[in-house]
Amino acid sequence: MRIRAAVTETPGGAFTVRDVDIEAPRAQEVLVRVTAAGLCHTDLSSQASWPEQLTPMVFGHEGAGVVEAVGTDVTGLAPGDHVCLTFNSCGACEQCTAGHPAYCLAVTLNVSGGRPDGTTPLSADGAPVYGAFFGQSSFATYAIAHERNTIKVPADLPATVAAPLGCGAQTGAGTVLNRLRPEPGQSLVVFGSGGVGLSALMAAVAVGCDPVIAVDPVASRRALAMDLGAKAALDPTAGDDLVDAILDLTDGGAHHIVDTTGRPEMIRQAVGALRRRGDLALVGLGAEVTFDATALLSKGIRVHGVIEGDSDPTRFIPELVALHRRGLFPLDRLVTTFPFENIRDAVAGMRDGTAVKPVLTFD
């Protein structure tokens, strides 16, 4: 079937929307007509460093849409179902069977540029176009996904809300709700108020953390954080001592800090801003970080590395949908939409900070 896809033709090359062909779904696969797709920093960082031998390539890993067809062995989904696409996992390794598919041992399911057998469901003029990024490659009008990473959502849930649930929203919210699990009244600080950071902030507000504090250099994002329930929003570039400000606002140190920046200087400040036995969750990909071991030991700080919010999407995405319906997770407040054909404008909006969570929409 002929579809439209945003193709990266060369390593680091820009997205070019053009025609490609997509196969029919195999036994455990699902064909989804994509109606919205979130743009995530992981798409851009992968695009920038993708190996030449795996181009041309189609990225996109926050798809939402409607099931068009299912493979012969798919049992839990049917044509017409509204779905959110998320990361893929094997379902059989020790991490998957323990309820932690974000740490699935079959890591190539998400980043190999194809299926486990090396094939790709996409082609152009008979030549392969690499795909299956996070088991979907949803920067396209249609995507082939696996039944494990296709999550049914209510038909009346806007696709522009469903799409970010697949990665960014569940990463931020899951870091708080699945890993840190703060008690009501405990303080939580988020470094970086992009889509992931603000999702963490909304989750913290939803479970009664107090105070919730945002740290970001962009004034509009600090304002949005305050609108979403933060008690304070700090500018790390203002010249004031960030650590002292957090210590003062949290009565001696934060119980929990979520870092989405991946920046070593921010992470080191986070250690100083935590109280004894506080928790530091590292979510953002970044450079190598060195810690003062004495500070970690003397304060009893626990450092968590978290991928995809340590989520089991089949359980957690419906939980986030329920929070959204109750008005406790207003994810739509983060979204700026762009027509799919204008994907380069969405990239520009993400890079210049004017779009907190760009979401592509399809006719």
Tell me the per-residue pLDDT of 308-340, one tens digit each, with 9 for 90 and over.
999 999 999 999 999 999 999 999 999 999 999
Q: What range defines the domain where residue 275 resides?
A: 172-307
CATH of the domain at 14: 3.90.180.10
Identify which has the larger pLDDT, 363 or 131.
131
- Residue 51: inside a domain: yes
- Residue 312: inside a domain: no
Per-residue confidence at 86, pLDDT binned at 50, 70, 90? very high
- Residue 235: inside a domain: yes
Same domain assignment for residues 160 and 187: no
Structurally, the chain folds into a number of domains equal to 2
Q: How confident is the model over 132-164, as pLDDT tens digits?
A: 999 999 999 999 999 999 999 999 999 999 999
CATH of the domain at 200: 3.40.50.720
> Can you tell me the mean pLDDT for 205-222?
97
> Can you tell me the mean pLDDT for 190-216?
98
Is there a contact between 194 and 260 (Cβ–Cβ < 8 Å)?
A: yes
Same domain assignment for residues 183 and 279: yes
Same domain assignment for residues 243 and 290: yes
d(CA 236, CA 219): 11
d(CA 64, CA 152): 10
Per-residue confidence at 363, pLDDT binned at 50, 70, 90? confident
User: Which residues are bridge partners to 8 per DSSP?
Assistant: 15, 57
Which alpha helices (H) appear in 251-341, and where do they start and end? Answer: 264-273, 293-299, 313-325
| Amino acid identity, position 310 | D
48 pLDDT above the threshold of 80: yes
- Residue 318: inside a domain: no
Looking at residue 353, its pLDDT comes to 87
- Residue 323: inside a domain: no
Looking at residue 332, its pLDDT comes to 97
Looking at residue 288, its pLDDT comes to 86
- Residue 324: inside a domain: no
Same domain assignment for residues 162 and 176: no
Is there a contact between 169 and 331 (Cβ–Cβ < 8 Å)?
A: yes
Looking at residue 286, its pLDDT comes to 78
Same domain assignment for residues 231 and 290: yes
Q: How many C-alpha atoms does 265 have within 13 Å on its Cβ side?
A: 4
User: Which residues are bridge partners to 302 per DSSP?
Assistant: 279
Per-residue confidence at 28, pLDDT binned at 50, 70, 90? very high
pTM for this prediction: 0.96
242 pLDDT above the threshold of 80: yes
Question: Worst-scoring range by mean pLDDT, 9-13, 78-82, 120-124, 180-184?
Answer: 9-13
Looking at residue 240, its pLDDT comes to 82
Chain mean pLDDT for the chain: 96
> Can you tell me the mean pLDDT for 9-18?
94
Looking at residue 6, its pLDDT comes to 98
Same domain assignment for residues 88 and 137: yes
Same domain assignment for residues 157 and 286: no
> Can you tell me the mean pLDDT for 294-310?
95
- Residue 321: inside a domain: no
- Residue 291: inside a domain: yes
Same domain assignment for residues 152 and 196: no
Same domain assignment for residues 14 and 157: yes
Q: How confident is the model over 182-191, as pLDDT tens digits?
A: 999 999 999 9
> Can you tell me the mean pLDDT for 270-299?
91
CA distances from 63 to 75, 80, 114, 164, 237 (A): 21, 16, 17, 8, 35
Same domain assignment for residues 17 and 157: yes
287 pLDDT above the threshold of 80: no
d(CA 85, CA 147): 9
d(CA 296, CA 309): 23
Express as a percent the part of the chain with pLDDT over 90.
94
Same domain assignment for residues 335 and 198: no
Q: How many C-alpha atoms does 170 have within 13 Å on its Cβ side?
A: 29
Same domain assignment for residues 27 and 162: yes
219 pLDDT above the threshold of 90: yes
Among residues 267, 292, 307, which one ends one of the domains?
307
